[in-house]
Every structure is written in C-alpha cells, then in structure tokens.
Amino acid sequence: GAVVSQHPSRVICKSGTSVKIECRSLDFQATTMFWYRQFPKKSLMLMATSNEGSKATYEQGVEKDKFLINHASLTLSTLTVTSAHPEDSSFYICSARDLNTWETQYFGPGTRLLVL
Amino acid sequence: KQEVTQIPAALSVPEGENLVLNCSFTDSAIYNLQWFRQDPGKGLTSLLLIQSSQREQTSGRLNASLDKSSGRSTLYIAASQPGDSATYLCATFSSGSARQLTFGSGTQLTVLP
C-alpha cells in the first residue's frame, strides 16, 4: 500500500529557532500534499495544500510567512516553522494524494513539535 | 462550510461489547466519508471509506453506514477488544471545489479487559 513518511518524528527546539519537517511519499507520486495541525484531543485542522511546483494554498488564519511550505518534487514536501514559539507546539501531520486516485489521501505518522 | 461532529467524545466499554460511534455533518454534498483510527501520538490509519452512493461498508468487525440525506454516519464495532482502544475520527471529502477532508474531533474509545 501507499506509504507516507515524516521526518523527524519528534523535535524539541528553543523559542526563536526554525524547524523543518519533511513529508515523503515512498512508493507513489503525489501531486498534492496536505499539512494538518492537531492539538491535544482535538481534530486535525488543515493548514495548507501544496501542489508540486507551485505555491501552497493556505487556509484562513494560517500565516504563510510563519509556516513555509515547499513542494519541490512529486515525492517531497517540507513545512518550515519559522521563528517558532511555544504556541506553535503541536502535532503536525502530512498527507499525500496519489496522482491517479485523487479522492484518497495517505497520511504520514506525524511530527511532534515542542517549542521551549 | 462543512462541520463534522462526533458524539460521544469519549467512550469506555467492557471487552466483548458491541458499540456504535456517531458522526454527523452539516453539508450533504460530499464525495465520500472515511473513518480513521488514531493511536496516541501516531498518525491516522484508514479503516473504511464509503462513497456517497453507498450505504455501508464492512471490514472484519467494523461496519460503517452512511445516510447522506440526514448527514449521519455510524461506525459499528462488534465484539470489542482492548486492542480497539484508540481515537476514531470521521472525515468527509467535499464534492465541491474545495476537494479537502474535514475532520470531526474524534471519539476516544477505551475497551476494558
């Protein structure tokens, strides 16, 4: 089956630093990848949709300069949390959509970010 | 804007019980509805996907139903086991231009041995 990986799985950083999270589709090509954020005991909130080779589309209320998304290839998207603050601490999950089955998303295992 | 609600937020049952998790959504213009399982600190595992034209889907001890007109879906788990303990999320896939998943807040299930 389709596999999506995320790296790192967990990161702790100091306030003010930037953190990059990678999302990779391992055995399929993903023209579209999605980034979600999940607070404890809450649902997944879509942050942005990224299409390979073009700018990401951000959901209302998500700062694009704060959360930089790059989707340079059909198998890799990155989310960079710039100048991280404690309120950015959360669980970040990516998903990827197969080129041929646009209605199905495959989810990564998530990245736990803790900003001190 | 689609809103997805799951009730109850948490549920605790003894092993062996059959149980039903509920999901409701406000916009019936959906392409499909999915049920996911999420273990603590982990990503999502897709359990069942129901197309808008379908009424139900079954996989092992799981059965999901969809009533699009009333905006409801249920996930039935038969003969629950401690290994079923997890958070169960439902999500609708919009058939509009958005083409995105909207998630409910989940039901945290605990099956007691």
Yes or no, beta carbons of B42 and A110 under 8 Å apart: yes
Hey, is the C-beta of A103 within 8 angstroms of any chain B C-beta?
yes
- DSSP bridge partners of A92: A37, A111
| Residue A102: predicted pLDDT | 67
| Residue A2: predicted pLDDT | 80
Sheet containing strand B4-7, strands side by side: B4-7, B19-25, B72-77, B62-67, B56-59
Residue-wise pLDDT tens digits, A92-101: 999 998 777 7
**Which amino acid is located at B45 in the chain?**
T
Backbone φ, ψ for residue B83 (5° rounding): -70, -10
Average pLDDT over residues A82-89: 96
A66–chain B nearest CA distance, Å: 22
In chain A, which ranges are E strands? 4-7, 10-13, 19-25, 30-38, 44-51, 57-58, 67-73, 76-81, 90-98, 105-107, 111-115
Hey, is the C-beta of A43 within 8 angstroms of any chain B C-beta?
yes
At B49, the pLDDT band (50, 70, 90 cuts) reads very high
Nearest Cα residue to A44 out of A93, A4, A81? A93
User: Is residue B78 pLDDT above 70, yes or no?
Assistant: yes
- DSSP bridge partners of B112: B14
A108–chain B nearest CA distance, Å: 6
User: Is residue A60 pLDDT above 70, yes or no?
Assistant: yes
Q: Nearest Cβ partner of B106 from A34, A43, A104? A: A43
Backbone φ, ψ for residue A87 (5° rounding): -70, -10
Residue-wise pLDDT tens digits, B18-35: 999 999 999 988 989 999
Average pLDDT over residues A69-94: 94
Residue of A nearest to B108 (CA): A41
Yes or no, beta carbons of B44 and A91 under 8 Å apart: no
User: Is residue A58 pLDDT above 70, yes or no?
Assistant: yes
